[in-house]
Structure 1
């Protein structure tokens, strides 16, 4: 497949992800999340431009008992949730009224073509499902790989990447991301040492 300038903007091994989090987000979980991404992207390569948003929502019950090691300097840009929504909308060139619902407790990847950007948002609580802070970011990073490498020039040019004609069935997209992230974590148990 010939790679056009449209795909080249997404397809880069030199883009370092940019990480955002809610002011007051637990640094330990920021570090677990970022370490998972960095470990995986060192082996599989980096894609971008890619922005991560870790959002703390109101229904979390904080539990510090399993945070044996705090990692200093997680490298996240910290802002209030309202400021993060504005930043998210600026990055993807969207009005705030079309912002992502950050109260749903999910983890997801999306893209923008004007400007070129991929975003991954995480609103899940680390205290309910800590394994999601290792396997989850790798799963979503796989969706970024699927976006960069899995679409034809025509699909990208017409911004139709979300249609099954181009991406294949949902079970394939989700299944392959789940399989690769689970296998990678199984092969790299060091990722779970601190949780």
Structure 2
């Protein structure tokens, strides 16, 4: 009986830990500020992970060499092309901004910044449809951004045809 109680307690603890992890990752979506950013689709399908829209963003290059695993920040500046709540990345830095809106992340391998907004998973039919739409006009990404700079994607849609994305070439993979 004692072993059963211990096993039950461990199962409940495991479930609570998983629920806590989910709640923490959902915080920017629930309580964060909603903004929009212009992006471009990059390779929308992966045979191992399924259908999703992988996104590339401009101005995510650092002026300095930053080691993989280093905490990074990307200050955001208003961008009217992305709508009323539109923003764009200003740069990447290792110094946390004192004020203003920013994203926090980590420098990944090959000097690729990781902010948790690089991919948006969608159902198979929607992924193929979105791929066709975004290929010609670019993407408008709606994010939830917390005060600490954590961000999550709320939605991805096609840019209006009149908007000029002015995006640079796709990043090297």
Hey, which of these two has a bigger chunk of strand by percent? 2
* Structure with more helix by fraction: 1
Whose radius of gyration is greater, 1 or 2? 2
TM-score between both structures, scaled by the size of structure 2? 0.28
